[in-house]
A and B are shown apart, each in its own frame.
Chain A
């Protein structure tokens, strides 16, 4: 049972344009969401997170939007750069459970390719 889903395995965007990566979840207990970026042969790197008490969080070029009623979140990257090309994982947790948002459930990832 995949509780966190990323339905687009890949996304191709032109440099300078907006990249929008989507993520859906089914477990209504999730209240903390994160995005990680992963290059080949490396571990995931934390990008940005959002708590369920918010619907938007912004950090530089990265913005995460949360729609709790739809159980949907998205990551916007503006402007997209070639160095953003990587696999992006959405993750979710129950923040108040067992020491914070550490026990993460991951999506399957979306391969973003930013083309020149």
Chain B
């Protein structure tokens, strides 16, 4: 069964609005979660590392003020796309390791479409 749950699975929003995506670890604690983005026919690109109780670490080129990450508990990380624009339309996927050095388990992703 799924060990990482992501919600919503898809969302359509108007340009200029904000969208929040939730990522939950099921039956395990995730001090670290990872947010990826995938554009059509491209690979999954790491956007940021979400750290429980501290600030997220963003990859080069990812705007931290646009992609707000909150990891307030050991089982929940949220990604908020603020003032979304059509170019933010993408597939956003979160992931977490069961243990520190174990392979990542991914959520089912969120398809964001900004009109």
Residues of A whose CB lies within 8 Å of any CB of B are: 2, 4, 9, 34, 36, 41-46, 49, 89, 95, 98-109
Contacts and interface: CB of A to CB of B under 8 A. Distances in A.
A99 B32 contact: yes
A89 B111 CA distance: 19
A9 B95 CA distance: 24
A104 B97 contact: no
B43 A44 contact: no
A102 B44 contact: no
Contacts of A34: 103
B100 A43 contact: no
| 4 residue pairs, one from A and one from B, having the closest CB atoms | A43-B106, A100-B101, A106-B43, A46-B103
Contact of B4 (A43, A101, A109): A43
Given A43-B107, A45-B106, A100 B97 contact: yes
A29 B85 CA distance: 36
A105 B46 contact: yes
Nearest to A35: B103
B78 interface: no
Contact of B43 (A41, A100, A109): A109
Among A4, A49, A89, A102, which residue has the most Cβ atoms of chain B within 10 A?
A: A102
B54 interface: no
A101 B101 contact: yes
B75 interface: no
A4 to B, nearest CB: 7
B107 A89 contact: no
A99 B100 contact: yes
A99 B101 contact: yes
